[in-house]
Amino acid sequence: MSVKKALISVSDKTGVVELARQLNELGVEIISTGGTASLLKQEGVPVIGISEVTGFPEILDGRVKTLHPNIHSGLLAVRADEAHRKQLEELNIQPIDLVIVNLYPFKQTISKPDVTYADAIENIDIGGPTMLRSAAKNHQDVTVVVDAADYATIIAEIKDAGDTTLETRRRLAAKVFRHTAAYDAIISRYLSEQVGELMPESYTVTYEKAQDLRYGENPHQRAAFYRQPLGNEGTISSAEQLHGKELSYNNINDADAALAIVNEFTEPAVVAVKHMNPCGVGIGATIKEAYEKAYAADPVSIFGGIVAANRPIDEATALLLKETFLEIIVAPDFTPEALAVLQEKKNLRLLRLSTQGSAAVPTSFKLTTVAGGALVQDFDTKQIEASDLKVVTERQPSEEELKQLLFAWKVVKHVKSNAIVLANNNMTVGVGAGQMNRVGSAKIAIEQAGELAKGAALASDAFFPMPDTVEAAAKAGITAIIQPGGSVRDQESIDACNRHGIAMVFTSVRHFKH
């Protein structure tokens, strides 16, 4: 047996008693601390107290117990180094061959709504990470385990050969450093937020794997889905999949986009998304009416799309949804009758998001990677009300036009720039996305709307650099426009609106989305 002595000190005690019992049966001596030692003794597993090894009591309410040369020399000594072996013998320090440690529950502590700063600080583990790092550094000789999922592997290898393999020790060491890095990242973020350092000199983030994906945007790209460890409520990463195939990379991106748009609305709303752009958005007195409008907005593009609703899906709505090929439906819930209808479609993914709603405001920053770096910014959660608008034309918008303008504005915020959205009768009737010039997006939206452009409201995500978009709108019969304003040539667009009797309002807010 190469593994003769193990140190076990865990906060999460899942499986630890059985592990310790098996190690004891294999003749491994067990050193333990605090609550772990008490539990193992209670369960009849022989344990050597940490103070017996250090010759020093646990002090400062347990803050100091493993931070001692007798522990860390036993972890860091290189077994093949004669000088190291000699020093251990002279100081009567015994090597520690196996370390089983997990850390104080800092993440769980700060997740509590009533957590105090003092509670958070007290749950920052010091001795645990130090032991883990010491053992992981010396993984040539020491096996270190931070995850209960690895208990079976190490027991099997020790039973088979008296020790773990070097390959296993290297894999577990890498896992330890990932674990301690993630642990420190959460602490760093919490403390930085407490002092208002939101974009500090170094930016460290951590995510936890939710699932492996078959591939990324394209089959030749590797991919996985990670969730942030805190603040997941109301996001796709917290959704419960009730039915259907495994989610893909593109599914997750599109579902996230659909959810962001539908959360703009408080009234019953449905959003259909293709390639992260809305192809149809509708609001109504019921979720069924909202879906009918979203579908009518673009019955061609919705095919193979993602649908998000902000109300539970009932049977009547489910019967309509079933008629179209969809990839995903995201909703706060599904009635049993609706589930029965939709589950008839074998591959249709159904996601339940019980905390969905406008309260699900992102608590983190938006991170976009570029070659060699990353861009960090706030999520665009800016909203406007009617009172924020400035009428800049001779004609005031009517009450109905104002309603459609605000509706279109909520949607255009989520369309790839350059973006134009036309709205009429509480639904999108035309969407122009991602064009290199604004009038190009307008022409696409107007062409899609056809006759429905007459009397419609037009929203632009950024100002008009020239009046050509207004002229195209007037020709199509659009009667009201909402845009940020701010161009040096604003007056030309205002004059064009006045000539054609179009009401135009400025928001003083831009919504570029690249």
Percent of the chain at pLDDT exceeding 90: 83
Q: Is residue 510 within 8 Å of residue 462, measured between CB atoms?
A: yes
pLDDT in tens, 265-321: 999 999 999 999 999 999 999 999 999 999 999 999 999 999 999 999 999 999 999
Q: How confident is the model at residue 483 (pLDDT cuts 50, 70, 90)?
A: very high
Positions marked active-site: 137, 275
Cα angle, residue 192 at apex, residues 115 and 207 outer, rounded to 5°: 80
387 token code pair: 């009172």
Residue 174: predicted pLDDT? 97
Strand ranges (E), 46-129: 48-49, 98-101
Paired strand residues for 369? 374
Q: Where are the alpha helices (DSSP H) in 195-323?
A: 249-262, 287-297, 315-322
Is the link from the previous residue into 418 a cis peptide, with omega within 30 of 0? Answer: yes
Residue 358: predicted pLDDT? 46
pTM: 0.88
What is the mean predicted confidence (pLDDT) over 175-179?
A: 97
Burial of 428 (0-12, 13-18, 19+ CB in 10 A): buried
Paired strand residues for 213? 223
Pairing of strands 208-213, 5-9: unpaired
Provide the CB-side half-sphere exposure for 455 (13 A, CA). 9
Q: Tell me the C-alpha distance between 24 and 14, whole Å.
A: 18
35 token code pair: 């609550």
State the DSSP string of 232-262: -TTSGGGPEEEESSPP-HHHHHHHHHHHHHH
84 token code pair: 């190291």
Residue 355: predicted pLDDT? 60
Q: Helix 127-137 crosses helix 166-194 at what angle (to 10 degrees)?
A: 150
